[in-house]
Copies of this chain bind each other. A is one copy, B any other.
Amino acid sequence: MNLYQRDLICTQDWEVEELEAVLDLAAKMKRDRFSPQWTSILQHKTFLMFFYNPSVRTRQSFECAATELGGHAQFLEPKAMRLKTATTAGETVEDAAQVMSRYAHGLGIRILEDKVPYYGAGEELIREYAQWCSIPVISKAHDKYHPCQGLADAMGWAEWFGKGPGYPANPMVLRGKKLLVTWGHGALARSWSSVQEALLIGSRFGMDVSLAHPEGYDLDPQVVQWTQENCAANGQTFTETTDVRAGYESAHVVYSRHWMSPQAYRDGEFHKQEEIDKALKYPQWICDAEKMALTDNAIFTHPMPVDRGHEVTDEVASGPRSCIYDVAENRLHVQKAIMALTMAEA
């Protein structure tokens, strides 16, 4: 297996064995964080971070990851670089990508929400960069997927179902566990990237998957279909429900998070305020202790930032079965592993 120069835009693009290789290396890196085995991997080398959208956690974890591998992550906000949908003069992705490939050893891109004119535009831009770049392109969350979050999720859940938090574990322990991905209300208009990646990676690693949301909050049909197929291939079931409680029954992992409706993008615009207004109308869609009691002693997971009081109660988010900080920490280790495998020759 050779992942050198591979792009990572969605975990569904990679083989399960390749994803396991990332988690295996991430576990080793977590166990012995500053070992000389890793600290020269990117020495004197640059990872370019393009943030079309700002992000505190993704920025911190990627920049720390590059530093811990001995390299440097450049923080870039491409205000001056037009999307190809814009009508003004500007540099083409063809030109930008080819020059960046001469300077750097990897490129991460984050683009979603108000920075895209329609669902899928961020994915198109990332894949256009990947087409022209001779260096690996890594999604740092875009409108469709968030592969680094998905890998950190799986790593965190596996730790909790293995020897416990802090103990690296093989994602094999997830096989047969039930994952509930449920919509949460709130004054937000969050992207589909994290939840869709969770559905995909959970089902790839053999989890039984349940998806719950109010009517009108369907996710991308392609992702739902892939999730069904992944479940079927592993002999597991996939269910979708609009009942706020049904999915909790016998769940082992509860993932409660807000996401925007399919109506968020219309006429080339992002209708943020409309989504925010709409999302407050379902106060029963909150993960609380009463619903968690229906589960099989499930852990609570969330990619953060958590909208406490809307997506989940404080009692659950700060409770003894919350794995949110472990998952957040794993962003660092997973990203170090991805960078090491794709940006450095073995």
Contact = CB atoms under 8 A, between A and B. Distances in A.
A293 to B, nearest CB: 24
25 contacts: A39-B43, A39-B44, A44-B67, A46-B60, A46-B67, A48-B60, A56-B78, A56-B80, A56-B81, A56-B91, A59-B76, A60-B99, A60-B100, A60-B103, A64-B103, A72-B72, A75-B75, A89-B188, A91-B305, A95-B304, A96-B305, A99-B328, A102-B325, A102-B329, A103-B332
Interface in A303-319: 304-308, 310, 318
Interface string A186-225: 1110000000000000000000000000000000000000
A43 to B, nearest CB: 8
A45 interface: yes
B99 A57 contact: yes
A120 interface: no
Contacts of A88: 187
B39 A64 contact: no
A78 to B, nearest CB: 7
A89 B304 contact: no
Nearest to A276: B89
A328 to B, nearest CB: 4
A54 interface: yes
Contact of A90 (B63, B67, B70, B305): B305
A60 B46 CA distance: 9
B67 A45 contact: yes
Q: So how many copies of this chain end up in the complex?
A: 3
Interface of A: 34, 39, 43-46, 48, 54-57, 59-61, 63-64, 67-68, 70-72, 74-76, 78-81, 88-92, 94-96, 98-100, 102-104, 186-188, 304-308, 310, 318, 324-325, 328-329, 332
A76 B61 CA distance: 12
A96 B56 contact: yes
Contacts of A60: 46, 48, 74, 76, 99-100, 103-104
A277 to B, nearest CB: 13
Contacts of A75: 75
A329 B103 contact: yes
Contacts of A39: 43-44
A72 B68 CA distance: 10
A51 to B, nearest CB: 11
A336 B284 CA distance: 51
A251 to B, nearest CB: 23
A244 to B, nearest CB: 21
